[in-house]
Structure 1
Amino acid sequence: MVVYSFHIFDRHTECVYSKSWLPPSAGSETAAPSTSSDDAKLLFGTVFSLRNMVRKLGGDDDAFISYRTAQYKLHFYETPANLRFVILTDTATLSMRNVLHQIYINLWVEYVVKNPLAPVEHKNGDGVKNELFELGLDQFIRGLISKQDNGFGMAARVRTRSPETSLTFG
């Protein structure tokens, strides 16, 4: 499993948190800088449009969960407070809806909502700057990736000499 990026959008459609990871390579385990605000706006616009289309075609009971392109798979989770959690992974990854729910319950609620010093609204582009949340999220995502890479998940990934080529077996 490869996780490319993670985003949280508030009820005002602002990206309040964004983190990107580079695809794993032989020597790099560090996080890439945050994506630009234009990328976050495009991502939210795509999610918003697809979610509305699914509701119009399938009724209010149908929920937009994910979509896949040739390069990535987008997973979506919306909370009762209209926070939207989005994670981009490789195309072979199964549903991450439960993972996004766990991030919301165990990390967001615990470290951001219950923090008396954290602002309730994130206006003027001020995102979430909570060290415990960021550390917990990074450990949680790296734990998911290592479970997959160690053979405990659905597939294991073996790197070859060329960084573009990988063999997946499971």
Structure 2
Amino acid sequence: SLVRKCLCREEWNRTKPCADVREEAKLISGLLITLNSFAQQMGPPKTMGFMSYSTPQYKMHSFETATGYRFVLTTDPGVPDQHDCLKQIYADLFVEHVIKNPMYQIGEDVSKCTAFTTKLQSFLQTRPFFAMLMSS
């Protein structure tokens, strides 16, 4: 069976701190698996799963690669779809600074790839939704 594991987790501008990071990761993983399955069952043939969903408190954006990596971004509910942003994180940051890093072992926490975490932070801070959060 497929093992799912959180390889990287970052927080910016979160209003309520997470009490149990591991439990939250398990809940999000289960939710994503369920939503993906639902989207594939209810959608037209070749549906790739869901890209985002909203609640009054937040919006969760998701992108899953063909190789099974899933990138998730949780934002304010008013933020537009970030699917392209997540694809760019995968292609320009994750592949370049994690996958191509000879020191990285597949499945390890990516915090050891400091170039990735630094560039991820810089990249997200340039997004319009990030500036919107900082000004509120």
Of 5, 28, 44, the match for 1:14: 5
Higher helix content, 1 or 2: 2
Matches within 5 A, 1:36-51: 36-51=21-36
> Offset at 1:57?
1.2
**Distance across 2 between alignment mates of 1:59 and 1:109:** 30
CA RMSD of aligned residues (A): 2.5
**Distance across 2 between alignment mates of 1:60 and 1:108:** 29
5+ residue gaps, structure 2, are none
Structure number with larger C-alpha Rg: 1
Matches within 5 A, 1:23-102: 23=14, 36-62=21-47, 63-102=49-88
Confirm whether residue 133 of structure 1 aligns to residue 116 of structure 2: yes
- How many residues align? The count is 132
Q: 1:147/1:74 Cα in 2 relative to 1: closer, same or farther (>3 Å)?
A: closer
- 2:126 is matched with 143
Normalised by the length of structure 1, the TM-score is: 0.70
- SS of aligned partner of 2:9: strand
> Offset at 1:112?
0.2
Q: Which is bigger in relative contact order (C-alpha 8 A, separation at least 6)?
A: 1
Higher strand content, 1 or 2: 1
Normalised by the length of structure 2, the TM-score is: 0.86
> Offset at 1:58?
1.4
> Offset at 1:59?
4.0
CA contact (8 A) 2:124 2:130 kept: no
> Offset at 1:158?
5.3
